[in-house]
Structure 1
Amino acid sequence: MRAAVLRRATAALLLLASLVAAPAARAQEPPGAAEARGTALAARRAAAARIAFGNCPETEGLPASVRCGTVTVPLDYAHPDGERLRLTVSRAAATGRDPDGGGEVPGQGALVFNPGGPGASGLYFPLAGMVPAWKRLAAAYDLVGYAPRGVAPSAPLSCQRPEEYFKGPHPAPAHPSAAYKRQRAAEAERYARDCAERAGDALRHYHSLNNARDLEVIRAALGERRLTFMGASYGTYLGTLYAGLFPSRVRRMVFDSAVDPRPEHVWYGVNLAQSAAFERRWSDVKRWIARHDAVYGLGDTPREVQGSYERAAAALAREPAGGTVGPAQLQGTFLGAGYYDDYWPHRAEALSAYLRGDPQPLIDQAGTRPPEAAAGAENAGAVYTAVECNDAPWPTDFRVWDRDNTRLARTAPFETWDNVWTNLPCAFWRAPRQLPLDVRTAPGELPPTLILAAERDAAAPYTGALELRRRLAGSVLVTERGAGSHGVAGGPNACVNAHLEAYLLDGRVPARDASCAPRPEPRPREDSGAAGRGA
């Protein structure tokens, strides 16, 4: 009897000791352990609740064929029973029909897409099934998009009043004065302060690691045992983090226009590399315009085209077109041409028309957007800033930014300082910074993954695809040689699309890295000629 009592007393003491020791033990656990437990709990809850798909929010303007629902995620994964967010998810069910008339197609579950940003919404992705290049994929997969945390309508984040977001016209000095730098630094500091004041303590929880955890909860809510995912641009970084955090949950992954995932490059170094790459891409644009001088009359060499651009910028600095288009708006609209080849004819037409005395095409392309667009643009900008600033350490001394970008602008003036002004709030950010995850997978840890990249992509320089290829064992890189459009999947390149379909439909990747010839260059519109009209 006494022995039994002693045994029970001893057991009780051991239990008490373990309870006392538990907090101390948890204090010594590795970083991210609490978040991992919270993610697992949130995923179990989501798997039980599933998604009740119904009508999409009217504000999204999606057709009835696309259905929407919500997934509940913790604001802070370390405290999964605390404040929660509702993420909006959209879906178009697989058609199950072979578009070539081959009968029924077996379903392969959900293909989840993130379009990048950070700050972009993927709610429109299910509409891709209407595009011919996507019809075979839409036959086999439910096409699923979502608005990430902070992106409307998923608990939208805001840093300023929307009516203050579109400011113009603006100068865009390639080599700004010290006074102008001080002005922009003050604006960036004010924006960072406003973000902190408007979002409060929640601001710290908008970052890429939480975005990857949200993706795991969405997978569970969809009822998918493993995730089939495609990410574009920043979406590739999100996919990389997911692969590092949840390798056993990966079924297939496509990385389209891969971002460099090296922790030491996130995000300050990534933006420096991007600025240098945009100078090369701007040269591509100018060469194309010069080859079509008979149409646009902007010069038959890249140097002459640059001269035409600078004349327009100087004239816009003196008198903004329509009262809204100054040099910064001109630069911004030609930055779009650095992203997408399809923009080249339209941008060249607008510049040509402006220099011939007709500012309307430039106003239409570069002018201030309507007030109803301001809220969405402000929201996207707030999420972009919060995620990038929260994700990693940034230089907090403006002299570092000034030194690095003054040096870079000597050879890459087109985008360098605009990129600085976009990201400079991170120098004054008030929320704690994350430490970027160093993702490296061993052979067999992941199934084969597919990386797609354009060799002259400026927004996601090609070195990022090469780095990701080195880090993900078993990944295969397909390169669109000599091309530079940002985002190559499901576009006009049949070779790229064949690799994409083979992988997503059959799980096949090339035996080794592969190349595709570039897509055809855009053609100028014949009715936009400027030759002989005093251009």
Structure 2
Amino acid sequence: MRAAALYSAAGSLLLTALALAPAGSAPAASAAPGAPAAPGAAERQGTAVAAARARAAGIDFGKCSDLKDMPGAMQCGTVSVPLDYAQPGGKQIKLTVTRVAATHKDPHNSKRRVRRQGALVYNPGGPGGDGQYFPLVGLLPEWKRIASAYDLIGYSPRGVGRSAPLSCEDPGRFFKAPSQAPTHPSDSYKQERIAQAKAYAQGCAKRSGSGLKQFNSLNNARDLDVLRAALGEQKLTFMGASYGTYFGALYATLFPSHVRRMVFDSAVNPAPEQIWYRNNLDQSAAFESRWTDFRQWIARHDDVYRLGRTVATVQHNYTKASAQLAARPAGGKVGPAELQAAFLSAGYYDDYWPKRAQALSAYLKGDPKPLVEQAGPATEAAAEAENSNAVYTAVECNDAAWPTDFKVWDRDNTRLARVAPFETWDNAWMNLPCAYWPTSRQQPLDVRTGPGELPTTLILAAERDAATPYDGALEMQRRLSGSVLVTERDAGTHGIAGGPNKCVNGYLDAYLLEGRTPEQRASCAPHTEPRPSTGDRAHRSPLKDSLKGKAPRG
């Protein structure tokens, strides 16, 4: 898939690089003789070394041999980064990078040639999301203006895909379907999940080796600066969605003078005390509200789905289906946990609502096929799913301290589940390996920039987003001086850039193409809610589905 990145063999150049920071950066301060180095000083200097090396090497883009039947002129390459930035001359890992060059074509005026503005680097979130297909968004109408002016750059972050992939268990055992999903688990069930979490954490250490602690958000931000240099960019233009906004904010804090433009789409709350335990609790509470939105929509369309005219009746029918699946899994592979996961995805993207509602309706009428098709485990993608989950776990566990006493988890999630049962315990079980994590933890960086330190950045947020609750966007704006927030009111889709809302896209285009922003805050009316359907036609294009990263949980 990836053409090899060029590595400079000029010894004198590399020796010089050891003492240089990338263009636009301040060199690390020298410590007084015998004095301890400032926290992170070695990593900052290591980033400068790696970036200078990457700038000299560049990226040898070529044919994407491992990506079959891909439309467009997408090219592939690699960039080398240190596993440990404190030791930039030590072990290197290669990140896969993809590109579609700027088209220079104005979609509204075929005779006008558009000036290239550089490279736009994208991360879809996760942690564990793979951005390698991002350059294909240029084929979509909503992205053609941006694609005319920018090389669209996607990449697989460290640990993801072929970028030094992480693994915590045998992919063949990753899908444990059908599974239970009790909203109020028994003590015996909790003990089972504790044992599973301990085994998973131990598996991460065993399968991923001593470098496991190097898979964290600060290193993701440092990798971004090396990628910037390898692309030949003096300053970075970056768009991050969900978790991508968090390490994008880390980048803005670490390297503010390297930033050209940054878009934070569905912003994570970056406050250090929120990373990551509190953010996950807040997320579970927000999903309850979004689940209510979905049930209200189903109830308004009872003439189509016959699942009830009230939220309570829809809930009754959902609970009924879950109980039936616990007794007899649909197709032998869809139990309550698989049902819950399918409906959780509808909490991220409301264009899934018609398909999910139709599947639930059909199942309760005796036809399990649509539900099996939508909720059954995609065993052919087991390796990719296991890898994504391993990266998610490693990054979140490495980033910050977590409670190590299950009594704390039990207390907090039991209280929350009384008012927000839909997602609370499922979210807890996903993150519980962090209670038993085998590596040392980091202290989260205090994301913050002062007046004039950072160019104006653009934050996009949907008011009812559950995966990254709206308070996170407000906190991100408070911490990044001079940033601008655009809100899609009364909407809950996770990731709104380049979507169906023309107002949001107008602000995005104005910012990326012209550097224009509103003053501090602006808002857009919500996009049109999905129409009910009795068929199983998807309401997203296959291309848009392929461009989604792992549903971000952090």
TM bin, normalised by shorter chain, reads: over 0.9
Residues 102-155 of structure 1: per-residue CA shift (max 9 Å, x gap): 500000000000000000110000000000000000000000000000001111
Q: What does residue range 259-278 of structure 1 map to in structure 2 within 5 Å?
A: 259-278=268-287
Q: Give 4+ residue runs of structure 1 displaced > 2 Å after superposition.
A: 22-27, 59-64
- 2:113 paired residue number: 104
**Structure 1 residue corresponding to 2:79, chosen from 42, 58, 71:** 71
Question: Is 1:120 matched up with 2:129?
Answer: yes
For 1:134, give the aligned amino acid. W
Indicate the SS of the match to 1:144: strand
- 2:15 paired residue number: none
Tell me, in whole angstroms, the C-alpha distance in 2 between the residues paired with 1:322 and 1:316.
10
Question: Is 1:240 matched up with 2:227?
Answer: no
Tell me, in whole angstroms, the C-alpha distance in 1 between the residues paired with 2:440 and 2:535.
55
Residues 66-102 of structure 1: per-residue CA shift (max 9 Å, x gap): 0011000000000011111000100000000101115
Q: Contact 1:253–1:449 at 8 Å: present in 2 too?
A: yes
**Structure 2 residue corresponding to 1:45, chosen from 39, 44, 53:** 53
For 1:457, give the aligned amino acid. D
- 1:134 paired residue number: 143
Question: Is 1:95 matched up with 2:98?
Answer: no
**Residue 60 of structure 1, CA deviation:** 6.6
Tell me, in whole angstroms, the C-alpha distance in 1 between the residues paired with 2:531 and 2:216.
41
Indicate the SS of the match to 2:98: strand
Tell me, in whole angstroms, the C-alpha distance in 1 between the residues paired with 2:87 and 2:176.
39
Residues 508-535 of structure 1: per-residue CA shift (max 9 Å, x gap): 110230000000000011558xxxxxxx
Q: Contact 1:314–1:327 at 8 Å: present in 2 too?
A: yes
How many residue pairs end up in the alignment? 506
Indicate the SS of the match to 1:85: strand
Q: Contact 2:358–2:535 at 8 Å: present in 1 too?
A: no
- 1:348 paired residue number: 357
Structure 1 residues 57 and 464: CA distance shift in structure 2, 3 A:
farther
Question: Is 1:499 matched up with 2:507?
Answer: yes
Tell me, in whole angstroms, the C-alpha distance in 1 between the residues paired with 2:35 and 2:122.
36
Q: Contact 2:483–2:520 at 8 Å: present in 1 too?
A: no
- 2:477 paired residue number: 469
Tell me, in whole angstroms, the C-alpha distance in 2 between the residues paired with 1:224 and 1:185.
47
Per the normalisation by structure 1, the TM-score is: 0.93
Indicate the SS of the match to 1:452: strand
Q: What does residue range 106-505 of structure 1 map to in structure 2 within 5 Å?
A: 106-370=115-379, 372-505=380-513
**Residue 432 of structure 1, CA deviation:** 1.0
**Structure 1 residue corresponding to 2:516, chosen from 496, 503, 508:** 508
Residues 405-446 of structure 1: per-residue CA shift (max 9 Å, x gap): 000000000000000010000000001111110011111000
Q: Contact 1:62–1:124 at 8 Å: present in 2 too?
A: no
Q: Contact 2:119–2:151 at 8 Å: present in 1 too?
A: yes
For 1:428, give the aligned amino acid. Y
Indicate the SS of the match to 2:444: coil
Tell me, in whole angstroms, the C-alpha distance in 2 between the residues paired with 1:228 and 1:411.
41
Bigger mean CA offset, 56-65 vs 200-209: 56-65
For 2:260, give the aligned amino acid. R
Bigger mean CA offset, 196-205 vs 51-60: 51-60
Indicate the SS of the match to 2:63: coil
For 1:164, give the aligned amino acid. R
**Residue 27 of structure 1, CA deviation:** 5.7
**Residue 29 of structure 1, CA deviation:** 1.4
Residues 154-200 of structure 1: per-residue CA shift (max 9 Å, x gap): 11111111101011111111000000000001000000001001111
Structure 1 residues 58 and 433: CA distance shift in structure 2, 3 A:
same
Which consecutive unaligned segments of at least 5 residues does structure 2 have? 1-29, 537-554
For 1:472, give the aligned amino acid. L
Q: Contact 2:72–2:139 at 8 Å: present in 1 too?
A: no
Which consecutive unaligned segments of at least 5 residues does structure 1 have? 1-21, 529-535
For 2:470, give the aligned amino acid. Y
For 2:240, give the aligned amino acid. G
For 1:212, give the aligned amino acid. A
Q: Contact 2:358–2:534 at 8 Å: present in 1 too?
A: no
Residues 38-64 of structure 1: per-residue CA shift (max 9 Å, x gap): 000000000000000001241576346
Instruction: Name the % identity.
Output: 66
Structure 1 residues 376 and 57: CA distance shift in structure 2, 3 A:
farther
Indicate the SS of the match to 1:31: coil
Tell me, in whole angstroms, the C-alpha distance in 1 between the residues paired with 2:196 and 2:69.
35
**Residue 340 of structure 1, CA deviation:** 0.3
**Structure 2 residue corresponding to 1:83, chosen from 91, 99, 111:** 91
Question: Is 1:55 matched up with 2:79?
Answer: no
Q: Contact 1:250–1:447 at 8 Å: present in 2 too?
A: yes
Tell me, in whole angstroms, the C-alpha distance in 2 between the residues paired with 1:280 and 1:97.
43
- State which structure, 1 or 2, has the greater radius of gyration over its C-alpha atoms: 1
Q: Contact 2:482–2:520 at 8 Å: present in 1 too?
A: no
Tell me, in whole angstroms, the C-alpha distance in 2 between the residues paired with 1:524 and 1:25.
71
- 1:18 paired residue number: none
Q: Contact 1:236–1:259 at 8 Å: present in 2 too?
A: yes
Bigger mean CA offset, 98-107 vs 336-345: 98-107
For 2:170, give the aligned amino acid. R
Structure 1 residues 385 and 27: CA distance shift in structure 2, 3 A:
farther
For 2:505, give the aligned amino acid. N
Structure 1 residues 193 and 527: CA distance shift in structure 2, 3 A:
closer
Query: Could you say what the CA RMSD is over the residues aligned between the two structures, in angstroms?
Result: 1.2
For 2:492, give the aligned amino acid. G
Residues 12-45 of structure 1: per-residue CA shift (max 9 Å, x gap): xxxxxxxxxx998476111100000100000000
